[in-house]
Chain A
Amino acid sequence: MLWELIRAGLIALQDYIALHVVTCLIPAFLLAGAMVTFVSKETIIYYLGATAQKLKAFALAAGGSFFVAACSCTVIPVSSGLYYAGAAIGAAFIILWVAPAANILALTYTGAILGSTMVFVRIIAALVMAFVVGWVMTVVFSSPSPPAPLPSEGEGSRRGEGADRRKLIGRADVTLLVLLVISLLAPNYLVQKGPYWAKVFVWAIATVIVFSYAFWAKPKEELKRWMGETWWFVRLIFPLLLAGVFVVGVIGKLLPEEWVRSALGGSSLGASFLATILGSVSYFATMTEAPFVDTLMKLGMGPGPAVALLLTGPGLSLPNWLAIARVFGIKKAIVYVVTIIILGTLVGWFAGNFIF
């Protein structure tokens, strides 16, 4: 029995990791590293603080968090830091939601494992939920005067204001990012049915192009920083991914198919709600939600609940609730979590009934 379970875990590792390392994981980590290195987060934040219009701030927060953090450990300080620096509460919570629910690494991996329709739905759903969450937080908590910013200590606070007005991103950096995206998509979309070596071949050509351009266009120092950031992502996320995928394999073996089918099958509100709760309570390291959802779908989970789980899995977890409550206060945490659970349920139900 134990041996069976270990074997299931190992098979999952082979299916979800080994097959994806070269053509999906390596380019995705390179892209994430490049985003962190070359896109000026400070500029995004600067404009976010300067924007008075709510809708614009919301859009900026949602779009910006796509670039800001792909690692969940950094997003709470980003969001709370912004909030206490005077940014709108809606924008702060949008970042808190979008960064983990729809970051580049998770989206790429979702695409590789679950297909492009699922990624598309995931992005749209995450953005729609982001705007509603931002709106709800604004309506419930907006006071006539902005939330008293915490008194800042020392002169360090004022120093940054002028320095943050840097360019968002240089032209060479844009080209590099686009090339990276192509190197990520090309192997999987040009060679959809072909043998695996054909994918690797396309990947190799694309990667040579990316690095030739990088060496030609960028100074050595920045390339070094890029590699450094990429290596950080690998170091932080890869072990969690390995462990997570192994656990997914074991769980898939343990769960009786009838249970999954009856509890999470179809696209009823109930199934969607259950998937949302499951995702909201348990902790999924970024990217692990994709193989987990794939495993559950093979056991009979419906596509609607799958979407709900994909979003809330990495987006919320019990430890995450506690951290939010500590930083933002219990009231805001409760409103946020309840809103996400309601929205997740509705989005799952809607996607299951009208999209798939």
Chain B
Amino acid sequence: MKIEILGSGCPKCFETERRVQKVVQELGLHAEVIHVSDMMEIARRRVVFTPAVAIDGEVKISGHVPTEDELKAILSPR
């Protein structure tokens, strides 16, 4: 699983990354967490509102810092 946090390097993005890391650990997932801060790359993904979270290339959350429950819901293996 590849989890990307898209954001311009702002405090909200770091908080998002921290929460993602925490949830990944709690759920015991084998995931690669990457912070994408290149604006062109963010634009290429059609993300307008940062911070955003993409899982395996698909943008799941955009425009706010997700809560841990929210992250658990989208990260839990289906």
Binding site for B on A (CB under 8 A): 36, 41-42, 45, 71, 73-74, 76-78, 80-85, 150-157, 159-160, 225, 228-229, 232, 235-236, 323, 326-327
Contacts and interface: CB of A to CB of B under 8 A. Distances in A.
Nearest to B51: A74
B47 interface: yes
Nearest to B8: A77
A193 B72 CA distance: 53
A85 B48 contact: yes
21 contacts: A41-B49, A71-B10, A73-B8, A74-B8, A74-B50, A77-B8, A77-B42, A77-B47, A78-B48, A80-B42, A81-B49, A84-B43, A84-B46, A85-B46, A152-B44, A152-B45, A153-B44, A155-B58, A157-B46, A160-B46, A235-B11
Contacts of A157: 45-46
Contacts of A323: 39
A84 B48 CA distance: 10
Nearest to B57: A154
A151 B45 CA distance: 9
B48 A77 contact: yes
Contact of B8 (A41, A76, A160): A76
A51 B40 CA distance: 24
A168 to B, nearest CB: 15
Interface of B: 7-8, 10-12, 39-40, 42-50, 54, 57-59, 63-65
Given A73-B10, A229-B64, A327 B43 contact: yes
Given A159-B58, A235-B11, A80 B46 contact: no
A154 B64 CA distance: 22
Nearest to B41: A153
Given A154-B58, A155-B58, A80 B39 contact: yes
Contact of B63 (A41, A85, A150, A151): A41
A232 B12 contact: yes
Given A74-B10, A229-B64, 20 more contacts: A41-B49, A41-B63, A71-B10, A73-B8, A77-B42, A77-B47, A77-B49, A80-B42, A80-B43, A81-B43, A81-B49, A83-B43, A84-B46, A154-B45, A155-B57, A157-B45, A159-B58, A228-B65, A326-B39, A327-B43
Given A80-B43, A82-B48, A323-B39, A156 B57 contact: yes
Contacts of B64: 36, 225, 229
A39 to B, nearest CB: 11
Contacts of A85: 43, 46, 48
B54 A156 contact: yes
Contact of A77 (B50, B54, B58): B50
B42 A81 contact: yes
Contacts of A150: 40, 43-44
A85 B49 CA distance: 13
Interface centre among B39, B40, B45, B59 (most CB of A within 10 A): B39
A98 to B, nearest CB: 16
Contacts of B8: 73-74, 76-77
Nearest to A87: B48
Nearest to A82: B48
